[in-house]
Each structure stands twice: as structure tokens, then as C-alpha cells.
A and B are shown apart, each in its own frame.
Chain A
Amino acid sequence: MEKFTVLNALVAPLDRANVDTDAIIPKQFLKSIKRTGYGPNLFDAWRFLDPGVPGADPASRRPNPDFVLNQARYRGAQILLARKNFGCGSSREHAPWALQEYGFRCVVAPSFGDIFYDNCFKNGLLPVVLAEPEVDGLFYDCALPGFRLIVDLAAQTVSTNDGAKSFRFAVDATRRYSLLNGLDEIGLTLRHADKIRAFEARRREQLPWLFR
């Protein structure tokens, strides 16, 4: 997994509440058996005016000029500023895959869908929860062209470039450690293989029908 330490990047605002993972990556693009290839279809139904068909040449698409990510000023944004309950709905991990492949490394919102939140950490994409008024303020700041934020995972802070604002955010120690170091979670868990085996043996004895 890609490490996440400090990110100083342009911010793109997506001013809608309850953005679901169906909207982040529509189902017709879930037919792939790979982990890559989803970036070109991020927010497909909102980003493009023509219907999204898997395998279509990106150059032939008609971008929706009204959609925020299509505005030139947000090109290269790596931080997505979002509203409450971002990533609700389907468990599809294709949603963080698509966001990341498009170029995002961090999503800042007042709250997230639980499964989406977990999925982000498995992929080096940092979901940051800030209080609603803080997020409101950032949406306001985002009106300024070239608005950037500095996200520091070790310090657990989100700050403006000029240092005028700095917010602390919470993150579990284990997740923070894995993300800072880009660690493989399966490898970490398998350090406890003996404990898992012992637990399993006890359970098998008590409830043998679960193990057939």
C-alpha cells in the first residue's frame, strides 16, 4: 500500500450531501476483475453528458462543463472536500479505487459511510472527519482560486497554507501507523496466527457443525 505522510494539495469542493458509492463509480464499470482502470469513470454520470459505456474511448466523451471536477481551476486537485455521509451505500471498493486513480489522496467531510471509510484506509486514501462548521468554512474558503490544504497524518492536522486555520482530526492509532508506513494488513494480522488457531480450535470443539 502507498504511504501517506504529509499532503499539500489543491482542494476540489463537491457540494452535495449523501454522495453514494453508486454515484462515485456506477455499476456498469464494476465488471472488471482488476483493481485498476476505474479513474476515467469516477462520478461518470455527473462528469459526462453522454452515457457511460465500459470500454469507451475517454477522448470521445462529452464532459459536463457544469460539474465541478471539469473546471480548469480544480485540475490536479488531490483533496476532495465533501458533505456529510460521503460514500454511503454499496460496499464496492471500486469507489476508493476510482477516487485514487483519478488523483485524490484525501477526502475531507463531516462524516462518511462506514464501509467506505474502512475501504479508504486499505488503499492509501485518507478520509478525514472534521466538524460540520469547519467543513462549512472550508467550502467558503474554496471559493478562492488555488485554495490548498496541508494534511499531516502524523500530526493529525488539516491546515491552510497560511497557517490561519488548523484543525485536528481523529484517527485510530493502528490505522494511522499502517498508513504512515504503507504496511500490508494481512501480514500484520498473520503475526497473530497462533492466537487465531487457538481460538479456532476452541470454537471447533464447542460448535463442530460450524466447521464442516
Chain B
Amino acid sequence: MARTLYDKLWDSHLVHVEADGTALLYIDRHLVHEVTSPQAFEGLKRAGRKPWRMSSVVATADHNTPTTGWERGIEGIEDPTSRIQVETLDANMREHPAKAYFPFLDARQGIVHVIGPENGATLPGMTVVCGDSHTSTHGAFACLAHGIGTSEVEHVLATQCLVTRKMKNMRVRVDGELGRGVTAKDVVLAIIGRIGTAGGSGHAVEFAGSVLRSLSMEGRMTICNMAIEAGARAGMVAVDETTIQYLKGRAFAPSGPEWDRAVAGWKVLVSDADAEFDREVKLDGRSIAPQVTWGTSPEMVVTVEESVPDPDREKDPIKREGMERALAYMGLKPRTPIEEIKLDKVFIGSCTNSRIEDLRLAASVVRGKKVAPGVRLALVVPGSGLVKAQAEKEGLDRVFRDSGFEWREPGCSMCLAMNADRLEPGERCAATSNRNFEGRQGAGGRTHLVSPAMAAAAAIAGHFVDVRGWR
């Protein structure tokens, strides 16, 4: 029978199935970070259990770590509770050495979803889990990758398996081609705008079509990263030459004769031509314009050419109330043109858009220009130490600094504001991250999700502008 990519990944990891469909799925790669793992290691210890296979674990500290003051070492983490979390991970990694651990201050430290792929620790055909919902990112490599809770982290540590059920198959096809200045981020925001934040619930989503095929691995990761914002635990893209070329020579990728064997196995990681999906959604790449969210959920999104919507025109009373609440929180009036919205801060970073390609794109927009006087802080936070080093080699740090951006150390930073980087109440931010929830970037902070090009242009203009016509 014809199978989807998801069917193939599922079948090849099935250890056991109960009569009601509950399955034990074998886990190849377990990514670990400091916020969702301490209770799991503690639980193991209390039950007198040992981790099953630490060679599956790649760990890093990213959520709490500061993006300045690294010269002060661990003392640079001023919040004592954050420091305890980072030190707890250090201690757990000493007790149970992992395949790789990139601790705070390490040259290869970074956001967990950036370091996995860049080190070749994420390979096609793997099952990948992490106590973090954006684990869907790794699906760009034709992996079955999804976020899990802390009890599941403990369960995977103890058994190398996840107790789960098969999801339904969904395919999102984006065909045609993208216009100049339109990026992967705009594609995924347009998809979420179409299907809603619960549109993919209960489904594993394969992203396909000529637009996906034309994207780099960085772009594909941006799209899979936000599958969870469309409600789907897992997003994925089939293997092609782009996937294989990206992985060649990465630190943990196979090499020599093993490389050839691996590649032969990866090539079947595509949906069969006649495979059936439970649901299919199609978008035309040519019709996608740069996107800007206006509310407190990623589905509250319009194009940069549009205006803030008017709740009075919404018939569904629950939706209308939600819109009114969002506009009140965001401090926006209905029908305000998006290009008239002024920004206080700009954040370029996060596991959605902090890879080298994102930084190159943003730098190309700001080169030779200055951040607008009204913008209090414009921040670039590379996704990892390796991204930072590469960007510095290319002189991108200089481009950003000369324009008035701050160039920081890697980490999650102002994506979720667990460290010192945050919005103050009422501040408005153009962010390349993935969540515009109330308080996400700091209590009372107002987040507009955009692409790196749009964020960079907004920093220079002081308000949103359409990058397509911008020079």
C-alpha cells in the first residue's frame, strides 16, 4: 500500500502496539535543555532508575542563559534561580554523560533546535524528541520530530521509547514560486492564517510543493518550526538533494562508506506518489505577501499591505470577543494600516529565524543604514555559537553594529524572555520569533511576528514597511 512519509517514519520505529492503538515508538535522538529536564532526572533518581541510552542525548543550556556578560562566566547569570537550572543540567550531564553536551559558554552552545541540525545530530529517518514544542523544527530533515512534556522526557530517558498514538496525515502544498522579499517565515504565517492555530491538531503535517523544494534547509526549518503554531505536533519535509548536501561533512553525520549507505536509506524518505492524506491544503506561493501578526495568537495575521481588522465585521461572537481582547492588549485601533504601526524594539533571533541565512538576509537590508531614533533597542541574537562565528567571519556583526543593532551571545533570549532580554509593559516589538502570546516577550509586551527582512526594515524605518518595495 502507498504510504506517506509520516507512515514510513512511524512504521520503522514501532516497537509494540496495544489493542487500542497505543504504541511504543523507539526514539533515536533525545534533545535536552535546562528548563524541562531537571524534574525528569530527579524522577529517575527517586525511582532508582538509570537512563537507557545516553548516546541518544544531545544537550545544551539555552533558555535561561544571558546574551551579555559571558566574560563573567557562570556569575554572568544574575538570576539565582536561572543559574540553579543551568547548574542542575551541568550536574546531570556529569552524572550521565551524553553523546554531546554544549554547556553555557561553550563555543557550540546555542538554541537546541539550531545546534541539532548544524552538528548533524539530526539525521533523516530519525525520531527526535525534546521537552520543547518547537522540536517540530527537525522535521525539515524528514524526521519524525515532536515536542514532549517533562514526564515524557523522563519516560524516554528511562525506556528509549515514547508512548504515543498515530496521528492523522495532513499535507500542505505550496506551489508556484515566492515573490522577491517573501520568505519562508511569510509562507508559514500565511499557512497559519489560513488554517488557524488549531488547524493541524491531531495531524502530522508534511509540507510539500515547488516552494518547499526551492527553499534551503534553513527555510524549511523555519516552516517546520512553526507547525506547532498551526496546532501540529510534527511538521516534516521529504528528503531531496538539498537535505543531503546540507548534511554532508557535519560533525555527527556519517562519513566514508557509511555516508553512502546512509544516503541510500534516506532517499526513500518521501511520500509515495499515490499516498493518501486525511487532509490537504493548498496555497499559491505567488499570492503570498510579507506577513505581520496584529494580535495575540499567530493566526491573527495579515499582509503588510493590509490594516488591522475590525472586530465589528466578525460574525462569530467568541471570535469577535477574542479579537477585541487582543486589540486592547496590543493597544491597536481597528483599521489602522499595518505600515503605520511604530515599534519600540526589534528582535532578530529565536529557533525560527536565527540561522546564518536569516542573519545574512537581515544584514543585507540594514547595510549602510541606521536604526530609527524611535527604536529603543534593536537586537540580533544568533542561534548558536557556530552561527555567531560564521556571521563574524562574514563581517555581519559589523554591518549590524554600524547600523545601531546590538550583537549578542547566542540563546533563546527575547523569544521568551526568561533571561534579562525582555519587553517592558506596553512596549511594541517586531520579532522574528514564533509566538505573540500575551506576555510572551515580557509582561505587557506587544509582539508582532515577521520575517527577518521585515524586522530589519522595520528597525530602520521605525515602523513596518513592505520590504518588497524598500531600498
A115: CB under 8 A from chain B?
yes
Chain A 196-208, CB within 8 Å of chain B: the 1/0 string?
A: 1001100100011
A60 to B150, CA, bound (A): 31
How long is the Cα–Cα vector from A31 to B35 in the complex, in angstroms? 7
Contact with B along A18-30 (1 / 0, CB 8 A): 1010110011101
Binary contact track B32-53/A, C-beta < 8 Å → 1, others 0: 0001101100110001010011
Nearest to B18 among chain A residues (CB) is: A174
B426 within 8 A of partner (CB): no
22 contacts between A and B (CB under 8 A): A22-B435, A23-B439, A33-B88, A51-B443, A54-B81, A83-B318, A84-B198, A89-B435, A92-B36, A111-B201, A113-B201, A113-B231, A114-B233, A118-B148, A118-B152, A123-B151, A186-B159, A196-B52, A200-B26, A207-B265, A209-B262, A211-B55
Quick check: is B211 within 8 A (CB to CB) of the other chain? no
Give Cα A211–Cα B126 distance, bound, in whole angstroms.
12
Instruction: Determine how close the nearest CB of chain B comes to the CB of A111; give it in whole angstroms.
Output: 6
CB nearest to A173 among chain B residues: B20
Please pick, from A51, A84, A89, A199, the residue contacting B26 in the complex, using a CB distance under 8 A: A199
List B residues 156-175 near A (Cβ within 8 Å): 158-161, 163-165
Contact A31 B85, CB 8 Å, known A45-B439, A89-B133? yes
- Distance from A51 Cβ to chain B, minimum over Cβ atoms (Å): 5
Q: How far is the CA of A90 from the CA of B297 in the complex (A)?
A: 13
Contact B131 A45 (CB under 8 A): no
* Size of the chain B interface, CB-CB below 8 angstroms: 80
A residues contacting B by CB (< 8 A) are: 16-18, 20, 22-23, 26-28, 30-35, 45, 51-52, 54, 83-85, 88-93, 96, 111, 113-115, 118-119, 122-123, 172-175, 184-186, 189-190, 192-193, 195-196, 199-200, 203, 207-212
CB < 8 Å neighbour of B161 from A85, A175, A189, A210: A189
With A26-B439, A85-B198, A91-B133 in contact, do A212 and B81 touch (Cβ < 8 Å)? no
**Contact A185-B163, Cβ < 8 Å, known A174-B22, A212-B99:** yes
B residues near A (Cβ < 8 Å) are: 15-16, 18-22, 24, 26, 28, 35-36, 38-39, 42-43, 47, 49, 52-53, 55, 64, 79, 81-82, 84-85, 88, 99, 123, 125-126, 131-133, 146-152, 154-155, 158-161, 163-165, 197-198, 201-202, 228-229, 231-233, 254, 258, 262, 265, 297, 318-319, 321-322, 325, 416-418, 425, 435, 437-440, 443
